Structure 1
Amino acid sequence: MKLQASLIAAACALALSACGGESPQPADPAFATPPPAPTTPADTTTPAGTAPADDTATPDVPVDAAPLDGTSTATGETGAVDAAGATPAAAGDAAVTGCSVAIEGNDMMKFNVSSITVPASCSEFTINLTHVGRLPEAAMGHNVVIAATSDMAGVAADGISAGASAGYVKAGDSRIIAATEMIGGGESTSVTFDVSKIKDGGPYEFFCSFPGHAALMKGSISVG
């Protein structure tokens, strides 16, 4: 047995010597070449109903937004607009009924008409004035005074001098053809005058003699 073991040991020694005398070492995993990764084709299919993303798209901007300053985006113009969205019509010729006319004054210091044409068939004519505003006479009084256009400024100035107690109309002023009393908001008054007084000469004006009103509250009156 000892001889057999010695022979086996000698044989192993000879085998080791033939292989270089070293035992093979396992490969270093850090330098191991990794296996090639499986190649799977990229999925370029866009899901149905989905639009591809466009990084260059411009965000939607509303083009019909109304400006805050009341300017029309269509015309670039501004204007006084009432609550219903319509532009108020300019005052025009008064609607005469028979030998009288009804006109209005308001808190905006305006008459609703800018001219009165008296029918030539009338010998007398009546102007009915209604103050459709709310302010009292002391703050926003209105009347109707008729005088030649050339006399209007002087009549108005003398009326202011006459004061509120006189209704801003100078007593006995021969330049005045007709004049109503001064009224406040919600009140009405009228005056009737001889049409022959405005048939010749002229032109003639009707106006409000309250201080400062004649510049805006005025219009022409004639026989037609």
Structure 2
Amino acid sequence: MKSSAILLASLLAAGSSWAYADCEFTVEVNDTMTYPIAQIVASSSCEAIKVTVTHKGTLDANVMGHNWVLAKTDDVQAIATEGMMAGADNNYLKPGDTRVLAHTDIVGAGATSSTSFSPSILEAGQSYDFFCSFPGHWASMRGKFVLE
């Protein structure tokens, strides 16, 4: 333990960046169209990666609902645009859309939803984003997903 703390202190003093990759993530959302994070870094050694969305706001899902969707960066806009037509019952995602790699349900005030997926579904060298598919949210509720 002591040597780990010394190593970390040495890295930080030397100006190196240090990141901790994990397998489980909680994303707290509220009544704004923002995620509290811009990037998720997950470990490629995870058997499964789990993401949980918790809505801490006061508005219902039909007014200010949010979800978490994972896709290749280049597919995000098309998934979001086509998802609007799919409606709330389908979490604003076209049923059977193979471009959607993982997603939670749309949640409103006080609700939680989770998704789990294997890191093996992600291709090395590919760029991935997470976003909210609620109509109009994808442009501002978006971040990078990195597998290390």
Which TM-score applies when normalising by structure 2? Answer: 0.83
Cα distance 1:201–1:170, how it changes in 2: closer, same or farther (>3 A)?
A: farther
Q: How does 1:69-218 map to 2 (within 5 A)?
A: 98-218=22-142
What amino acid does structure 1 have at the position aligned with 2:53? L
Distance in 1, matches of 2:20 and 2:67, equals: 19
Code of the residue aligned with 2:109 in structure 1: it is G
Deviation of the 1:201 alpha carbon: 4.3
The structure-2 alpha-carbon separation of the partners of 1:95 and 1:102, relative to structure 1 and needing over 3 Å to count, comes to farther
Structure 2, unaligned stretches of length 5 or more?
1-18
Say which one has the larger Rg: 1
Q: Secondary structure at the match of 1:206?
A: strand
Q: Which has the higher contact order (CA 8 A, sep 6+)?
A: 2
The Cα shift of 1:109 comes to 1.1
Number of aligned residue pairs: 130
Q: For residue 32 of structure 2, what is the amino acid of its counterpart?
A: M
Q: TM-score, normalised by structure 1?
A: 0.55
Residue 222 of structure 1 is matched in structure 2 by: 146
Shift of 1:165: 1.7
Quick one: which amino acid aligns to residue 131 of structure 1? H
d(CA) in 2 for partners of 1:141 and 1:202? 29
Equivalent residues of 1:95, 1:101 under 8 A apart: no
Equivalent-residue separation in structure 1 for 2:68 and 2:58 (angstroms): 18
Match of 2:14 in 1: none
Superposed, 1:41-80 pairs within 5 Å as: none
Q: Which amino acid aligns with 2:31?
A: D
State how far apart, in whole Å, the 2-side matches of 1:167 and 1:95 are: 31
More helix as a share of residues: 2
State the shift of 1:111 in Å. Answer: 0.8
Indicate the percent of aligned positions where both proteins have the same amino acid.
Answer: 39
